[in-house]
Structure 1
Amino acid sequence: MASSSTDVLDGGWGWAIVCASFMAQLLAYGSPQSVGVLYPEWLNAFQEGKGMTAWVGSLVSGVGLIASPICSACVDNFGARPVTIFSGVMVSGGLMLSAFAPNVQFLIFSYGIVVGLGCGLVYAATLTITCQYFDKRRGLALGIVTTGTSVGAFIYASAQNELIVMYGLDGCLLIIGAVALNLMACAGFMRPLNMPGYYLKQKAALERNTEEQLFEKPPLDDLTIIAGSTSTTPDKSLMVKEMLITIDTKDSAVQTEKKKGSFLAGLAIIKVIKKKQQAYSKYMHSMYEIMQDQSMMSFCISIFLFSLGAFPPVLFIEDVAMSQGLMEEVSVIPLVSIGAIASCAGKLLLGMLVDIKWINGIFLYAFTMFAGGLTLFLIPLTKSYLGLQILSFVLGFFSGNWSLTSYITTKIVGLDKLTQAHGILMFFGGFGIMLGPPVVGWFFDWTQSYDLAFYFSGGCVELGAVILLLLNLPCWKRKSAKSSESDRPDVQYTSNCDKVASVA
């Protein structure tokens, strides 16, 4: 069994899993990542404030990140294939419901929450099944899979523009929702290597039921005397008495066993509860240790500030061009598409740069934040559509620094605590994504201009870069952090997988 399982890794059907996961992320995240194209249409359709309407785009991207622990638990218990099928129903249903939204509040639920949770389930399922099929080439496989979001945003931005022109906003959402049903087809390729927890529990329950059937009473037909026989011989009566005595003995034995079994079951439940409490206390203690790490906390704060400031342009950049009169008609390649394809290039290039030995991952991330914040400061000063295209490309490229998060987190906390630390990091990032667009929209509603809003966004990103840089300088390191680092062995990367792992 061990040899057969190892033969499956790093090739074979695993590449079919990569293609299916890539398409799943493309279909799920295509519309949410290019929501900036839909945002001006919603403003015209519902005549709500920009701050209120911005909640739709912020929730669809932030809810999936915040709910990532729940999504991962669903994949562990039910498997990647059922979760992907269910997420296809959620994403498609949410998009189709949004076509019939009577107001922004309904749209926040249908598009923001329903589609957002569906995307979170897809993300967890695709990454889990890909990690199961790859070992040495895991980083490369995850890098290919995660670029599906950027490619989807690039394709969907132009496609949604054309569909809105041809069929209107409602028709566009209905067609995009129907296309999202192909997530079920992608799920068909996700053949599990290991049985998920739900099926293992069902199998154990069936085995217990089979054992209990051995103690059941024999059928009553074995005790009936043939009808019409008025005479009962001594042998017959003796045989019936023996059978009745045997049944009584069995009944008493079964009752005794049930009493013992119920007592033992109670003890087992108590033991399970104690084990759960111990595991929970260990988990909370581990989380506390992670939060005590100065580098980790500075990274979490910087992720929050970067998400708070750098995500709103994805939603507002098209409206900025329209409000300033920089584009008179629908562009063939929207600004959202330019940012998406630049983000894809940034993920790959920054992932390769961080593998160079003399480059520090944290300082590289701080540099991308400085450059991204400077780009945000330049957006209000730009008075041409070409300038917005260039700035969208630059900002999209440096937004590809999301590919560095797992690499930097591993460097800070080690491989053992990577899952917990990455979950904390995604929570901070999702919280920033949820707050960013509404705050920028409220700034516009207050000042009737995007200038102050983008200055605020750029200031948040620059502040995060300063915090990350200063708290990770050698002279600012605490002595306790140094002692803890001496106790924990450094993480060494020796395989080709680790050279590409940052792309994931």
Structure 2
Amino acid sequence: MTNVEPRAEGRRPEEEEDEDETPEGGWGWVLVGALFVSTSLVFGLMRSLGVFFVEFVQYFEESAQAISWISSTGLAAQQFFSPLGAALCNAYDARVVVMAGGCLAGLGLVLASQATCLVHLYLTMGVISGLGWGLVFTPMVATVMAHFTRRRTLVLGVGFSSIGLSSFAFNPLFQLLVETYAWRGALLILGALSLNIVPCGALIRPRRRRRRPEAAAKADPQRGPPLAAALRRVASYLELPVLLERPYVTYALAVTLLNVGYFVPYFHLVAHSRQAGFSEYQAAFVMSAAGASDILGRVASGWFSDLGHFRPVHLLTLWTALAGAFIMLLPVSSLSGSYAALMATGLLYGFCSGALTSLVFAVVPMIVGVPRMMGALGLLQLIESGAGLLGTPLSGLLKDVTGDYLASFVVSGAFLILGSLTLTTLPRYFSRKEPPAPPHGLHHKDQGLHPEAERMHGSPSDADRRGVGEGSGNPKECVA
């Protein structure tokens, strides 16, 4: 016999349907697991593609610089297409977008296994897989953040910890696959492995359609001339108005600066260690150790940030400055030939670089507000894509000019320190209390695209009292 409890007086059916979707738990923990798997199959895989570097150089008989553009193109494409992923989520549904991204990521690697020239690899591993990664990462991050308020940085740290774990595990696995099946067979297997992103996307709950309030219907950007309506709709999906706001532009500049030097050790630390006189196994172990401390840094930073003793932007500034300092110390620590000093510096760098990663994303909703978080994250990835693409070639150029990696690491670390200084120019940066989130009224003209996210500016009780569907001008929201 089914027990039917009477409906609370004055309560709408929509409110009862969404009780299980309140923040801080429930299905959100399932999505943290999905983020854990999907990020390992995006950035963990990207970090480990260096295993194919020697194979490509030998097979295609091209320069190291030409081969390096394969991974650089993939990273730049992932960041460049992130706004497209955010816009598609706002227009349609995050579940469909992430699943499509998983299919494209796998398709690109499968097609790359049949490559006959470098251009083929640029288009497949670079553009097609990069497009798929761009459709996966930002929607998954925004979806997880929308389900948590107090523990947002911690859950991001847990989800991103898979990057370090997979980097540690994928390198020997990929090497084994190359030795067993050659590089073509290995890429084919990696393409199949990437398709596991599809079930991760399927775990995102599709949004229910809501009846649009009369006020939202009057503010519909589709009203008016067709061209103007279309432009307003695209702008609302991409959240382009944030580019006119000083706090967001300042933050994007800071993240771009730190992104110039952030990836340099991942590409050049092993080569520097070899040049310093250490064996290839010692050099590889330094990078593995840095990856292990990276995992610890992500989780520890998220836990400490969510204690609330310090503002997240202040912690981000600290970890960024420390990471920059340790990057600059990496070549200095090996001048004396001390492997212990190099290992210690590598461990400290790995911890700080992991600690800042979760905070970079967690600070975004505090600057633009949760309703605009999806588009703001996508635009941030787009803005920093150029820095990620040019940072490593700049480091390589300095090495070619000077003959060693000292200048490369010093300049790379200086970019991170410059980024931390830029953060201090944010409005009300030196306030001990977090500034209030942007008022909702500023965003009603943009359709109120994220009702689930809007609810999270208040307490769960406020959300239950208001109802999830109120103020929604778009029947299909991205945040699940």
Q: In the alignment, does 2:408 pair up with 1:394?
A: no
The equivalent position to 1:66 in structure 2, one of 80, 86, 89, is 80
The verdict on how the C-alpha distance between 1:38 and 1:184 changes in structure 2, with shifts beyond 3 A counting, is same
SS at match of 2:206: coil
Q: Distance in 2 between matches of 1:385 and 1:97?
A: 42
Alignment of 1:165-244 (within 5 A): 165-194=179-208
**CA deviation map 1:427-465 (0-9, x unaligned):** 232221111122223333444433332222122223323
Q: Distance in 2 between matches of 1:113 and 1:58?
A: 10
The equivalent position to 1:364 in structure 2, one of 315, 320, 337, is 315
Alignment of 1:150-165 (within 5 A): 150-165=164-179
The equivalent position to 1:431 in structure 2, one of 374, 382, 386, is 386
Contact 1:49-1:445 within 8 A present in 2 as well: no
The verdict on how the C-alpha distance between 1:458 and 1:48 changes in structure 2, with shifts beyond 3 A counting, is farther
The equivalent position to 2:414 in structure 1, one of 459, 468, 476, is 459
Q: Distance in 1 between matches of 2:92 and 2:164?
A: 28
Q: Distance in 1 between matches of 2:100 and 2:232?
A: 33
Q: Distance in 1 between matches of 2:97 and 2:31?
A: 15
Deviation at 1:71, TM superposition (A): 1.0
Q: In the alignment, does 2:163 pair up with 1:149?
A: yes
Q: In the alignment, does 2:104 pair up with 1:90?
A: yes
Contact 1:88-1:180 within 8 A present in 2 as well: yes
Q: Distance in 1 between matches of 2:418 and 2:71?
A: 24
Q: Distance in 2 between matches of 1:412 and 1:395?
A: 27
Match of 1:211 in 2: none
Q: Distance in 1 between matches of 2:323 and 2:231?
A: 44
The equivalent position to 2:296 in structure 1, one of 345, 369, 377, is 345
**CA deviation map 1:266-290 (0-9, x unaligned):** xx98555444455567888833531
Contact 1:151-1:340 within 8 A present in 2 as well: yes
SS at match of 2:193: helix
Q: In the alignment, does 2:330 pair up with 1:379?
A: yes
The equivalent position to 2:140 in structure 1, one of 126, 140, 147, is 126
Match of 2:18 in 1: 5
The equivalent position to 2:241 in structure 1, one of 269, 286, 292, is 286
AA matched with 1:174: L
Deviation at 1:49, TM superposition (A): 4.1
Match of 1:109 in 2: 123
**CA deviation map 1:52-90 (0-9, x unaligned):** 333222232232222111012333445344434432332
Contact 1:87-1:122 within 8 A present in 2 as well: yes
Q: Distance in 2 between matches of 1:50 and 1:357?
A: 47
Deviation at 1:402, TM superposition (A): 2.1
SS at match of 2:261: helix
Contact 2:160-2:358 within 8 A present in 1 as well: no
Match of 1:316 in 2: 268
SS at match of 1:359: coil
AA matched with 1:318: V
5+ residue gaps in structure 1?
Answer: 197-267, 478-484, 497-504
Q: Distance in 2 between matches of 1:98 and 1:3?
A: 49
Of the structure 1 ranges 125-134 and 364-373, higher mean CA displacement relative to structure 2 is found in 125-134
Deviation at 1:417, TM superposition (A): 4.7
Q: In the alignment, does 2:404 pair up with 1:449?
A: yes
Contact 1:157-1:337 within 8 A present in 2 as well: no
**CA deviation map 1:188-232 (0-9, x unaligned):** 544524369xxxxxxxxxxxxxxxxxxxxxxxxxxxxxxxxxxxx
* Percent identical: 25
Deviation at 1:3, TM superposition (A): 0.8
Q: Distance in 2 between matches of 1:334 and 1:174?
A: 28
Deviation at 1:372, TM superposition (A): 1.6
The equivalent position to 1:409 in structure 2, one of 364, 378, 381, is 364
Q: Distance in 1 between matches of 2:428 and 2:162?
A: 38
Deviation at 1:494, TM superposition (A): 8.2
Contact 2:87-2:375 within 8 A present in 1 as well: no
**CA deviation map 1:395-429 (0-9, x unaligned):** 22222212112343344444455445434432232
Contact 1:50-1:444 within 8 A present in 2 as well: no
SS at match of 2:363: helix
**CA deviation map 1:224-279 (0-9, x unaligned):** xxxxxxxxxxxxxxxxxxxxxxxxxxxxxxxxxxxxxxxxxxxx985554444555
AA matched with 1:298: T
Q: Distance in 2 between matches of 1:416 and 1:188?
A: 23
The verdict on how the C-alpha distance between 1:105 and 1:446 changes in structure 2, with shifts beyond 3 A counting, is farther
Q: Distance in 2 between matches of 1:143 and 1:351?
A: 5
Q: Distance in 2 between matches of 1:487 and 1:345?
A: 30
RMSD after superposition = 4.0
Q: Distance in 2 between matches of 1:314 and 1:185?
A: 30
Deviation at 1:159, TM superposition (A): 1.8
AA matched with 2:18: S
Q: Distance in 2 between matches of 1:348 and 1:28?
A: 19
The verdict on how the C-alpha distance between 1:105 and 1:342 changes in structure 2, with shifts beyond 3 A counting, is farther
Contact 1:51-1:440 within 8 A present in 2 as well: no
Contact 2:153-2:302 within 8 A present in 1 as well: no
Match of 1:237 in 2: none
Highest CA radius of gyration, 1 or 2?
1
Aligned length: 413
Q: In the alignment, does 2:256 pair up with 1:298?
A: no
SS at match of 2:279: coil
5+ residue gaps in structure 2?
Answer: 1-12, 211-221, 441-453, 461-480
Q: Distance in 1 between matches of 2:147 and 2:169?
A: 28
Q: Which has the higher helix share?
A: 1
The verdict on how the C-alpha distance between 1:448 and 1:475 changes in structure 2, with shifts beyond 3 A counting, is closer
Contact 2:328-2:409 within 8 A present in 1 as well: yes
